[in-house]
A and B are shown apart, each in its own frame.
Chain A
Amino acid sequence: MPALSILFIRAALLWLIVGAGFGGVLLAGKAGTAWGSLGAAVPAHAEVLLFGWMLQLAFGVAFWILPRDEQNLRPRPSLAWSSFVLLNAGLAAALSSRAWTLLGATPAPRWILSGAAFAFLAGAAAFAAHAWPRVRSFLK
Protein backbone atom coordinates (compact mmCIF):
# COMPACT_ATOMS: atom_id res chain seq x y z
CA MET A 1 0.00 0.00 0.00
CA PRO A 2 1.61 3.36 -1.04
CA ALA A 3 2.24 6.16 1.46
CA LEU A 4 -0.57 8.36 0.15
CA SER A 5 -3.10 5.52 0.49
CA ILE A 6 -1.96 4.98 4.06
CA LEU A 7 -2.50 8.69 4.73
CA PHE A 8 -5.91 8.77 3.04
CA ILE A 9 -7.17 5.63 4.82
CA ARG A 10 -5.81 6.52 8.25
CA ALA A 11 -7.30 10.02 7.93
CA ALA A 12 -10.57 8.33 6.92
CA LEU A 13 -10.46 6.15 10.06
CA LEU A 14 -9.80 9.22 12.23
CA TRP A 15 -12.72 11.08 10.66
CA LEU A 16 -14.86 7.93 11.18
CA ILE A 17 -14.03 8.00 14.89
CA VAL A 18 -14.88 11.72 15.09
CA GLY A 19 -18.04 11.43 12.99
CA ALA A 20 -19.37 8.38 14.82
CA GLY A 21 -18.74 9.98 18.21
CA PHE A 22 -20.47 13.12 17.04
CA GLY A 23 -23.37 11.05 15.70
CA GLY A 24 -23.68 9.24 19.01
CA VAL A 25 -23.97 12.56 20.85
CA LEU A 26 -26.58 13.82 18.37
CA LEU A 27 -28.61 10.60 18.66
CA ALA A 28 -28.49 10.67 22.44
CA GLY A 29 -29.63 14.29 22.16
CA LYS A 30 -32.83 13.12 20.49
CA ALA A 31 -33.62 11.20 23.67
CA GLY A 32 -33.87 14.53 25.49
CA THR A 33 -30.46 14.60 27.09
CA ALA A 34 -28.53 17.82 27.72
CA TRP A 35 -26.96 17.56 24.25
CA GLY A 36 -30.26 18.04 22.44
CA SER A 37 -29.43 21.60 21.46
CA LEU A 38 -26.64 20.27 19.23
CA GLY A 39 -29.16 19.31 16.56
CA ALA A 40 -27.99 22.25 14.46
CA ALA A 41 -24.70 20.39 14.02
CA VAL A 42 -26.21 17.62 11.86
CA PRO A 43 -24.61 19.07 8.66
CA ALA A 44 -21.17 18.76 10.27
CA HIS A 45 -21.89 15.10 11.15
CA ALA A 46 -22.82 14.43 7.52
CA GLU A 47 -19.77 16.27 6.11
CA VAL A 48 -17.34 14.44 8.37
CA LEU A 49 -18.73 11.00 7.50
CA LEU A 50 -19.37 11.55 3.78
CA PHE A 51 -16.23 13.50 2.85
CA GLY A 52 -13.91 12.57 5.70
CA TRP A 53 -14.71 8.88 5.98
CA MET A 54 -16.31 7.50 2.82
CA LEU A 55 -14.75 9.71 0.14
CA GLN A 56 -11.23 9.54 1.57
CA LEU A 57 -11.45 5.77 2.05
CA ALA A 58 -12.54 5.40 -1.58
CA PHE A 59 -9.72 7.68 -2.78
CA GLY A 60 -7.13 5.85 -0.68
CA VAL A 61 -8.15 2.43 -1.95
CA ALA A 62 -8.44 3.69 -5.55
CA PHE A 63 -4.94 5.23 -5.44
CA TRP A 64 -3.66 1.87 -4.20
CA ILE A 65 -5.39 -0.58 -6.53
CA LEU A 66 -6.23 1.11 -9.84
CA PRO A 67 -4.07 -0.11 -12.76
CA ARG A 68 -0.70 1.67 -13.09
CA ASP A 69 0.88 3.00 -16.30
CA GLU A 70 3.27 1.19 -18.67
CA GLN A 71 6.22 1.96 -16.37
CA ASN A 72 4.30 0.42 -13.45
CA LEU A 73 3.98 3.90 -11.88
CA ARG A 74 1.00 5.83 -10.56
CA PRO A 75 0.91 8.83 -12.95
CA ARG A 76 0.64 12.44 -11.77
CA PRO A 77 0.64 11.63 -8.04
CA SER A 78 0.79 15.34 -7.19
CA LEU A 79 -2.88 15.62 -8.17
CA ALA A 80 -3.81 12.91 -5.68
CA TRP A 81 -1.65 14.51 -2.97
CA SER A 82 -3.38 17.86 -3.66
CA SER A 83 -6.71 16.11 -3.26
CA PHE A 84 -5.70 14.80 0.18
CA VAL A 85 -4.65 18.28 1.34
CA LEU A 86 -7.72 20.01 -0.13
CA LEU A 87 -10.26 17.53 1.30
CA ASN A 88 -8.84 17.71 4.81
CA ALA A 89 -8.39 21.48 4.71
CA GLY A 90 -12.01 21.75 3.51
CA LEU A 91 -13.21 19.59 6.36
CA ALA A 92 -11.26 21.61 8.91
CA ALA A 93 -12.72 24.84 7.50
CA ALA A 94 -16.28 23.46 7.40
CA LEU A 95 -16.04 22.21 10.98
CA SER A 96 -14.58 25.53 12.17
CA SER A 97 -17.45 27.36 10.53
CA ARG A 98 -20.09 25.05 12.05
CA ALA A 99 -18.47 25.26 15.50
CA TRP A 100 -18.26 29.08 15.29
CA THR A 101 -21.97 29.30 14.46
CA LEU A 102 -22.98 26.74 17.08
CA LEU A 103 -20.89 28.04 19.95
CA GLY A 104 -20.52 31.74 19.16
CA ALA A 105 -22.95 34.59 19.42
CA THR A 106 -22.72 35.44 15.71
CA PRO A 107 -22.79 33.31 12.56
CA ALA A 108 -19.41 32.41 11.05
CA PRO A 109 -18.22 34.56 8.14
CA ARG A 110 -19.58 33.12 4.90
CA TRP A 111 -16.15 32.97 3.27
CA ILE A 112 -15.11 30.10 5.56
CA LEU A 113 -17.89 27.76 4.42
CA SER A 114 -17.46 29.00 0.82
CA GLY A 115 -13.76 28.18 1.04
CA ALA A 116 -14.60 24.72 2.35
CA ALA A 117 -16.97 24.12 -0.56
CA PHE A 118 -14.28 25.22 -3.03
CA ALA A 119 -11.72 22.93 -1.35
CA PHE A 120 -14.10 19.92 -1.58
CA LEU A 121 -14.78 20.65 -5.24
CA ALA A 122 -11.11 21.17 -6.14
CA GLY A 123 -10.08 18.08 -4.14
CA ALA A 124 -12.61 15.87 -5.90
CA ALA A 125 -11.66 17.28 -9.33
CA ALA A 126 -7.93 16.78 -8.65
CA PHE A 127 -8.46 13.15 -7.69
CA ALA A 128 -10.70 12.51 -10.71
CA ALA A 129 -8.00 14.02 -12.97
CA HIS A 130 -5.40 11.73 -11.37
CA ALA A 131 -7.53 8.58 -11.57
CA TRP A 132 -9.07 9.10 -15.03
CA PRO A 133 -6.21 7.59 -17.12
CA ARG A 134 -5.83 4.72 -14.63
CA VAL A 135 -9.37 3.49 -15.26
CA ARG A 136 -8.36 1.09 -18.04
CA SER A 137 -7.73 -2.54 -18.77
CA PHE A 138 -4.91 -4.28 -16.87
CA LEU A 139 -3.97 -5.94 -20.17
CA LYS A 140 -2.79 -2.75 -21.93
Chain B
Amino acid sequence: MPTVSRLFVKTAMIYLVLSLLAGAALLLEEGGLLPPATQALRPVFYHLFLLGWATQLIFGVAWWMFPPLSTAAKRGPEGRMLLVYALLNLGLALRAVAEPSLALGLGGSWSVALISSAALQVAGVWIFAVELWPRVRATTPRPGA
Protein backbone atom coordinates (compact mmCIF):
# COMPACT_ATOMS: atom_id res chain seq x y z
CA MET B 1 0.00 0.00 0.00
CA PRO B 2 1.53 3.38 -0.98
CA THR B 3 2.41 5.85 1.77
CA VAL B 4 -0.27 8.33 0.76
CA SER B 5 -2.96 5.63 0.89
CA ARG B 6 -1.83 4.62 4.38
CA LEU B 7 -2.12 8.27 5.42
CA PHE B 8 -5.66 8.51 4.05
CA VAL B 9 -6.84 5.23 5.57
CA LYS B 10 -5.34 5.82 9.03
CA THR B 11 -6.67 9.38 9.12
CA ALA B 12 -10.07 8.03 8.06
CA MET B 13 -10.04 5.74 11.09
CA ILE B 14 -9.28 8.67 13.38
CA TYR B 15 -12.23 10.55 11.86
CA LEU B 16 -14.44 7.51 12.38
CA VAL B 17 -13.74 7.63 16.12
CA LEU B 18 -14.14 11.44 16.26
CA SER B 19 -17.42 11.31 14.33
CA LEU B 20 -18.84 8.66 16.63
CA LEU B 21 -17.80 10.78 19.62
CA ALA B 22 -19.81 13.64 18.13
CA GLY B 23 -22.67 11.23 17.45
CA ALA B 24 -22.56 10.00 21.03
CA ALA B 25 -22.69 13.60 22.29
CA LEU B 26 -25.81 14.16 20.16
CA LEU B 27 -27.47 11.07 21.62
CA LEU B 28 -26.56 12.17 25.16
CA GLU B 29 -28.16 15.55 24.41
CA GLU B 30 -31.35 13.81 23.28
CA GLY B 31 -31.29 11.90 26.56
CA GLY B 32 -31.08 15.17 28.48
CA LEU B 33 -27.52 14.56 29.71
CA LEU B 34 -25.91 17.37 27.68
CA PRO B 35 -27.15 20.93 27.03
CA PRO B 36 -29.23 21.72 23.87
CA ALA B 37 -26.27 23.66 22.45
CA THR B 38 -24.71 20.27 21.71
CA GLN B 39 -26.98 20.17 18.63
CA ALA B 40 -24.50 22.59 17.03
CA LEU B 41 -22.38 19.47 16.44
CA ARG B 42 -24.95 17.77 14.16
CA PRO B 43 -23.60 18.95 10.75
CA VAL B 44 -20.06 18.32 12.00
CA PHE B 45 -21.05 14.74 12.92
CA TYR B 46 -22.42 14.10 9.41
CA HIS B 47 -19.34 15.52 7.69
CA LEU B 48 -16.74 13.92 9.94
CA PHE B 49 -18.43 10.58 9.22
CA LEU B 50 -19.16 10.94 5.49
CA LEU B 51 -16.21 13.07 4.39
CA GLY B 52 -13.58 12.38 7.08
CA TRP B 53 -14.27 8.64 7.34
CA ALA B 54 -16.08 7.26 4.28
CA THR B 55 -14.82 9.53 1.50
CA GLN B 56 -11.27 9.65 2.82
CA LEU B 57 -11.21 5.84 3.07
CA ILE B 58 -12.43 5.65 -0.54
CA PHE B 59 -9.72 8.12 -1.64
CA GLY B 60 -6.97 6.07 0.00
CA VAL B 61 -8.16 2.70 -1.29
CA ALA B 62 -8.95 3.98 -4.81
CA TRP B 63 -5.49 5.53 -5.14
CA TRP B 64 -4.01 2.20 -4.10
CA MET B 65 -6.18 -0.24 -6.06
CA PHE B 66 -7.32 1.42 -9.29
CA PRO B 67 -5.48 0.50 -12.53
CA PRO B 68 -2.14 2.32 -12.89
CA LEU B 69 -1.71 5.04 -15.50
CA SER B 70 1.06 3.08 -17.20
CA THR B 71 3.92 0.79 -16.28
CA ALA B 72 6.25 3.78 -16.06
CA ALA B 73 4.00 6.37 -14.46
CA LYS B 74 2.25 3.87 -12.14
CA ARG B 75 -0.28 5.71 -9.97
CA GLY B 76 0.64 9.26 -10.96
CA PRO B 77 2.17 12.11 -8.97
CA GLU B 78 2.02 11.32 -5.25
CA GLY B 79 2.72 14.97 -4.39
CA ARG B 80 -0.69 16.00 -5.66
CA MET B 81 -2.35 13.37 -3.50
CA LEU B 82 -0.46 14.74 -0.50
CA LEU B 83 -1.85 18.16 -1.44
CA VAL B 84 -5.37 16.63 -1.55
CA TYR B 85 -4.73 15.11 1.88
CA ALA B 86 -3.57 18.45 3.33
CA LEU B 87 -6.41 20.49 1.81
CA LEU B 88 -9.13 18.04 2.82
CA ASN B 89 -7.97 17.57 6.38
CA LEU B 90 -7.10 21.20 7.05
CA GLY B 91 -10.53 22.16 5.69
CA LEU B 92 -12.36 19.54 7.68
CA ALA B 93 -10.55 20.34 10.93
CA LEU B 94 -11.22 24.06 10.47
CA ARG B 95 -14.87 23.31 9.76
CA ALA B 96 -15.20 21.12 12.86
CA VAL B 97 -14.34 24.16 14.99
CA ALA B 98 -15.77 27.04 12.94
CA GLU B 99 -19.22 25.61 12.13
CA PRO B 100 -20.33 24.99 15.76
CA SER B 101 -18.72 28.26 16.85
CA LEU B 102 -20.82 30.18 14.33
CA ALA B 103 -23.95 28.20 15.21
CA LEU B 104 -23.43 29.19 18.84
CA GLY B 105 -23.34 32.84 17.79
CA LEU B 106 -19.65 33.48 18.32
CA GLY B 107 -19.45 35.12 14.86
CA GLY B 108 -16.58 37.38 13.92
CA SER B 109 -13.53 35.72 12.47
CA TRP B 110 -15.24 32.30 12.50
CA SER B 111 -17.08 33.39 9.34
CA VAL B 112 -13.77 33.80 7.54
CA ALA B 113 -12.59 30.45 8.93
CA LEU B 114 -15.75 28.71 7.70
CA ILE B 115 -15.48 30.15 4.19
CA SER B 116 -11.80 29.14 4.12
CA SER B 117 -12.70 25.63 5.25
CA ALA B 118 -15.28 25.36 2.46
CA ALA B 119 -12.70 26.43 -0.13
CA LEU B 120 -10.07 24.01 1.23
CA GLN B 121 -12.42 21.01 1.25
CA VAL B 122 -13.81 21.71 -2.22
CA ALA B 123 -10.30 22.19 -3.66
CA GLY B 124 -9.12 18.91 -2.12
CA VAL B 125 -12.07 16.94 -3.47
CA TRP B 126 -11.89 18.48 -6.95
CA ILE B 127 -8.15 17.82 -7.28
CA PHE B 128 -8.71 14.20 -6.24
CA ALA B 129 -11.44 13.74 -8.87
CA VAL B 130 -9.18 15.15 -11.58
CA GLU B 131 -6.23 12.98 -10.46
CA LEU B 132 -8.25 9.73 -10.32
CA TRP B 133 -10.11 10.34 -13.62
CA PRO B 134 -7.40 8.93 -15.98
CA ARG B 135 -7.04 5.83 -13.80
CA VAL B 136 -10.68 4.87 -14.35
CA ARG B 137 -9.77 2.90 -17.45
CA ALA B 138 -10.19 -0.39 -19.22
CA THR B 139 -6.75 -1.86 -19.44
CA THR B 140 -4.11 -2.65 -16.89
CA PRO B 141 -0.67 -2.53 -18.49
CA ARG B 142 1.18 -5.81 -18.14
CA PRO B 143 4.73 -5.77 -16.71
CA GLY B 144 7.16 -4.93 -19.47
CA ALA B 145 4.42 -3.69 -21.81
Q: Contact residues of A with B, CB < 8 Å?
A: 1-3, 5-6, 9-10, 13-14, 16-17, 20-21, 23-25, 27-28, 30-33, 49, 53-54, 57
Contacts and interface: CB of A to CB of B under 8 A. Distances in A.
Interface in B41-68: 50, 54-55, 58, 66-67
B45 to A, nearest CB: 14
Given A1-B67, A6-B138, A31-B102, 9 more contacts: A1-B138, A10-B133, A23-B122, A27-B95, A28-B114, A30-B103, A31-B112, A32-B111, A54-B58
Contact of B129 (A17, A27, A32): A17
B129 A6 contact: no
B25 interface: no
Contact of A24 (B50, B102, B119): B119
Contacts of A31: 102, 110-112, 114-115
11 contacts: A13-B129, A16-B129, A20-B125, A21-B126, A23-B122, A27-B115, A28-B115, A30-B99, A31-B102, A54-B54, A54-B58
B132 interface: yes
The 5 closest A-B pairs by CB, nearest first: A24-B122, A31-B111, A27-B118, A20-B125, A24-B118
Report the contact-size class of chain B (Cβ under 8 Å from the partner).
20 to 34
Nearest to A50: B50
Which of B95, B112, B138 gathers most chain A CB within 10 Å? Answer: B138
A27 B95 CA distance: 9
Contacts of B125: 16-17, 20
A56 to B, nearest CB: 12
A24 B91 CA distance: 11
Given A20-B121, A21-B122, A6 B114 contact: no
A30 B54 contact: no
A30 B102 contact: yes
A3 B110 CA distance: 46
B136 interface: yes
